[in-house]
Amino acid sequence: MSVFIIITLIILVFIIIYQIGKASEHSAVLRGGEKVKAQTNNIMAVLLLVVFALGMWGIWFCHSIFVDRMLPVAACRTGVNYDNMFYYTIVVTGIVFFATQAVLFWFCYKYRASENRPSFFFAHSNKLELIWTTIPAIAMAILVAIGLRNWYDVTAPAPADATIVEVVGKQFNWIVRYPGKDNELGKRDFRSINDATNILGMDWTDPHNMDDIISQSGELHVVVNKPVKLLICSRDVIHDVGLPHFRMKMDAVPGITTTLCFTPTITTDSMKLITKNPDFVYEIACDQLCGKGHYAMRGTVVVQSQADYDKWLASQQSYYAMNHSAPADAKPAATTEAPKADTVKAVTKN
C-alpha cells in the first residue's frame, strides 16, 4: 500500500513540474518567443560556466578529503615504481583533462548564440588534424614505454633465492602452504581433497609432502627484504590474490598455476608506525567475483624480520603430522579450514 502511495506522490509531483514547465513555455510565447529564447540561452551558458567552476572546486575539495585516506607508501620496490608511474600518468592525463574541459566550457560561454555574430564556416584543416594526431600519439608512446618497462619488471621471473609459497583460493578463504624443510612443495591432486584431513589433496606417497606446512591461522608470513614467489591456484572457481599494499594482483584459476613475485620492504610493525594505525594489517582481497562470500574472502600477510619468521615457522606443525598423529581427531583440520569466518558479519554459513 505504502509503495502505491509513494508512486502516486512521485507522479503527482512530476505532473506539477510538467504543468509549470508547460505554463512557462506558453507564457514565453506570449511575451515574445525570440527574446525569451535568447534569455534562456544566456542563462544556460552562464549555468554551464558555473557548473564548470563548481566542478573545479569540487575536484579540489574531493582531493583534500581523500588525500589522507589513500593507501600508505608502497611496501615493495615494484610498488614504489608503480606509484611513480601512476604519478606521471596523472600529470599527463591531468593536463589534458583540465585543458580540454576548460576550453569546452569556455567555448560554450563565449560562443553562445548571438544575433550579431554569425557562425564561422570552418569545416576542416589538415594541419590541425595532423597536430592533434601526432601529439597524443607521442604522449601514448611515452606512457607505453614507461608501462612496458615496469610491466616486464613486475612480471620478471623470480630470483633463484625466492621463498616459494603456495596460495590456494577456495570459497571463501585462502589456504597457504609452505614447502617445509626440503624446500620443495609436494604433489597434490584435486581428487584426493577432503575437507577434514586433506584440504589441498596432497599426495601422501610423495615424500616432499611430509614436511609441507599449511599455515594454521591462514596468514601468509613473509620475510622483509627477501623475495617471495607465490604459486597461485584455486580449488573451485576463479579467485584473485589482490595485494593493494604491494600494488599487485593475480588471478587464481582452477587447473592453472599462476605466479606472483615481490620483495616486501616494510614489516607489518613498521607499517603500523607509518600509518599511525595500531590495527594495520596487510590484506589479501579477493578481486574476482567468486560467489556469495566473495566480499568476505579476506586473507592477511604478515611481513616480519627473518628472526620472527623463523620463530613462527618453527611453531608450525607439518600438515601431515597434524592429520596423522591423531587420525581419529579431525578437529585441527577443521579449524584450519575456516579460520577467517569470524571476521565477517553472519555471511558464510551455508
Partner 1 sequence: MSNEHIIIQGSNVSHAAESAGHHDDHGHDHHEQHFIWKYIFCQDHKVIGKQFLITGIIWAMIGALMSVFFRLQLGFPDSTFPIMEKVLGEWAKGGKLSPEFYYALVTMHGTILVFFVLTAGLSGTFANILIPLQIGARDMASPFMNMLSYWFFFLASILMFVSLFVETGPASGGWTTYPPLSALKEASLGSGVGMDLWLLSMATFVVSSLLGGLNYISTVLNMRTKGMTMTRLPLTIWALFFTAVLGVLSFPVLFSGFVLLIFDRNFGTSFYLSEIFIGGKALPHIGGSAILYQHLFWFLGHPEVYIIMLPGMGMASEVLSNHSRKPIFGYFAMIISLVGITLLAFLVWAHHMFVTGMSPFLGSIFVLLTLLIAVPSAVKVFNWITTIWRGNIRFNPPMLFALGFVSLFISGGLTGIFLGNSALDIHLHDTYFVVAHFHIVMGVSAFFGMFAGIYHWFPKMYGRFLNNTLAYIHFFITFIGAYLIFWPMHYEGIAGMPRRYYDYSAWESFKHFQGVNAFISIVATVVFFAQLLFVFNFFMSIFRGRKVTEKNPWGSPTLEWTTEINPGHGNWVGEIPTVYRWAYDYKDDGHGNDFIPQTRPLAPGEEEH
Restricted to residues 165-184, the positions that interact with partner 1 (CB under 8 A) are 170-171
Report the nearest approach of partner 1 to the CB of residue 72 (Å).
10
Cα–Cα distance measured from residue 36 to residue 25, given in angstroms and rounded to the nearest whole number:
9
- The C-alpha atoms of residue 287 and residue 282 are separated, in whole angstroms, by 15
Q: How far is the CB of 46 from partner 1 (least distance, A)?
A: 10
Among positions 49, 229, 254, 270, the unique one binding partner 1 when judged by CB under 8 A: 254
CB 77 within 8 A of CB 153: no
Handedness of CA 32, 38, 42, 47 (dihedral sign): positive
Q: Which stretch binds partner 1 (CB under 8 A): 144-152, 176-184, 205-213, 320-328?
A: 144-152
Alpha carbons 283 and 245: distance in angstroms, whole number: 8
Tell me the per-residue interface mask from 268 to 307 with partner 1, x by CB under 8 A, - otherwise: ---------x-xxx-x-xxxxxxxxxxxx-x---------
- Which residues 33-72 are close enough to bind partner 1 by CB under 8 A? 40-41, 44-45, 47-48, 51, 54-55, 58-59, 62, 66, 69-71
Looking only at residues 309 through 328 of this chain, which bind partner 1 when binding is defined by CB under 8 A? Answer: none
| Under 8 Å between Cβ of 210 and 320 | yes
Ordered DSSP codes for 196-260 = TTBTT-B-TTSGGGTT-EE-TT--EEEETTS-EEEEEEESSS-EEEEEGGGTEEEEE-BT--EEE
125 binds partner 1 (CB under 8 A): yes
The interface region with partner 1, picked from 214-222, 242-250, 303-311, 328-336 by CB under 8 A, is 242-250
Q: Are 238 and 251 in contact (CB under 8 A)?
A: yes
CB 176 within 8 A of CB 218: yes
Our CB check for partner 1 shows the closer of 97 and 317 to be: 97
Stretch that binds partner 1, among 124-132, 178-186, 263-271, 324-332 (CB under 8 A): 124-132
Nearest distance, CB of residue 277 and partner 1, angstroms: 8
Q: Which of 251, 269, 308, 337 binds partner 1 (CB under 8 A)?
A: 251
CB 284 within 8 A of CB 174: yes
